[in-house]
Amino acid sequence: VETPLTDKRASLHQALEAHVPDGSSIALGLSLESLIPFAAVHELIRLNRRHLTLIGPISDMAFDQLIGAGCVSQVIAAWVGNVAGGSGYAFRRAVEEGVPHPLEVEDHSNFTVGLALKAAAMGIPYLPTYTVRGSDIATGHPRIREVDDPFGGPPLLGVGALHPDVAIVHAQRADQEGNAHLWGNLGITVEAVYAAGTTIVTCEEIVSADVIRSDPNRTVIPGFLVGAVVEEPGGALPSSVQGYWRRDFEPFLEYHRQSKTAEGFASWRRDWIDGLQDRSQYLARLEPATLERLRVRERRLAAPANFAP
C-alpha cells in the first residue's frame, strides 16, 4: 500500500513566517560548529522577529547576530561567542550595557543543555547527572536542582526538561515530507528535534523519498516531526556541511572585527542582511573564486549497506 506523501516544501520565508512567531523559543546550532542554519538566522533578522529565546550548546556567531539585531530576549546556552575570534561582542553589549536591549541568560554546560533537551525528548521532567557539581552554573540555576539517588548513591543534580517551540536544522538532504539525512557530527540535533514542538529543516537538496528510504539509519529526523522543509543550498554557510561545503573562515573573522562596535554591527547588517533578499543573493555576493574554494567537488563515498530482506 502506497502512503500518500505530504508535501511540506516551503520557501524559507514562508516556513519561518508560519512556524516562528515573535516570542518563540528556538533551538539551533545543534551540531556545534558545522551545519549552522545561517540562512534561517539571517531571514529571522530580516523578518524583524522580537522576544525570541535561543537554545543551543555553543553558538558560533549565529546567536550573536540575532542578539545584535535585537531579536532576542533570552539565551539558554553553554557558550555564546565566535569560535575563531572568542568574544561575541553583540552578546557582551546586551549583557553588559543592555544594548540594543537587556538579555536574560540561563548559563549551561554543553552536557546540561543536552540533558535538558533529552529529558524533554524522553517525556520526563528531568535527568540526573554528576556534571557541574561545584560549578557556579549550578548555583541558583532555575533548571538545576540537587536530587537524591533513590538507590542510595551520592546526591546528583537534576536538569529540568527544556521544550523549544521549534528546532531549526540544516541537513544534507531531505524528501518533500521532511525526512532528513544528516551525516558527520550530530551534537544535540536528535535531542532537540525530539524535544521541540516542531522542526524546520533546511537542506542542500530535496531528493526523492526512495533515496531517503534506501538508508533509514541515516534518517536522523523523521518527517512527522517536521513542520516545513526548505531546499536552501549553501544555507549553512559560512559554517561547513560535510560533503557539500567547507568552512568559510573569513566571514567569522570579518564579523568579529566589525561587530566590535554597535556602528560596525549596523554596517555588517546593512551589507549582509538588509542589503540582501535571500540566501541566493548571499551566495551571489561571494567572490566566484571563494565559492569555488568552498564547494566540495571531491567524492569520498561511504560503502553501500545492503538492506535486502
Partner 1 sequence: VTRRQIMVVAAAREIRDRELVFVGMRLPLLGFALAKATHAPNAIGLFENGVIRDRPPEGFLYTMGDPPNIVNALACLGLLDVMSLLQQGRVHAGFIGGAEIDPRGSLNTTRTEAAGKLVRLPGSGGAADIASLALRTILIMEHEPRRFRPRLDYVTSPGYVPGRRRGGPATLITTLGVFDVTPTGLRLRSRHPGVSVESIRDATGFPISAADDAPETIPPTEAELEHIRRADPDGFWTGRD
Binding site for partner 1 (CB under 8 A): 31-34, 57-58, 60, 77-81, 83-84, 86-88, 91-92, 95-96, 107-112, 114-115, 118, 129-137, 154, 183-191, 239-240, 242-243, 246-247, 249, 296, 300
Half-sphere exposure (Cβ direction) of 257: Cα atoms closer than 13 Å: 4
- CB of 129 closer than 8 Å to CB of 159: yes
Residue among 37 and 187 whose Cβ is closer to partner 1: 187
Cell triple for 248: 568559510
Rounded CA separation 256/238 (Å): 13
First to last CA, the chain: 18
Is residue 306 classed exposed, middle or buried when 0-12, 13-18 and 19+ CB atoms within 10 A define those classes? exposed
Rounded CA gap, 30 and 185, in Å? 10
Q: Shortest distance, CB of residue 184 to partner 1, whole angstroms?
A: 5
Please, what is the minimum distance in Å from the beta carbon of residue 274 to partner 1? 27
Residue closer to partner 1 by CB (options 28, 132) is: 132
Nearest distance, CB of residue 131 and partner 1, angstroms:
5
Cell 553583540 belongs to 90
The C-alpha atoms of residue 273 and residue 90 are separated, in whole angstroms, by 16
Quote the least distance from Cβ 115 to partner 1, whole Å. Answer: 7
Residue 125 or residue 275: which is nearer to partner 1 going by CB?
Answer: 125
CB of 183 to partner 1, least distance (A): 7
By beta-carbon proximity to partner 1, the closer residue of 138 and 286 is: 138
Measured from the CB atom, is 101 or 270 closer to partner 1? Answer: 101
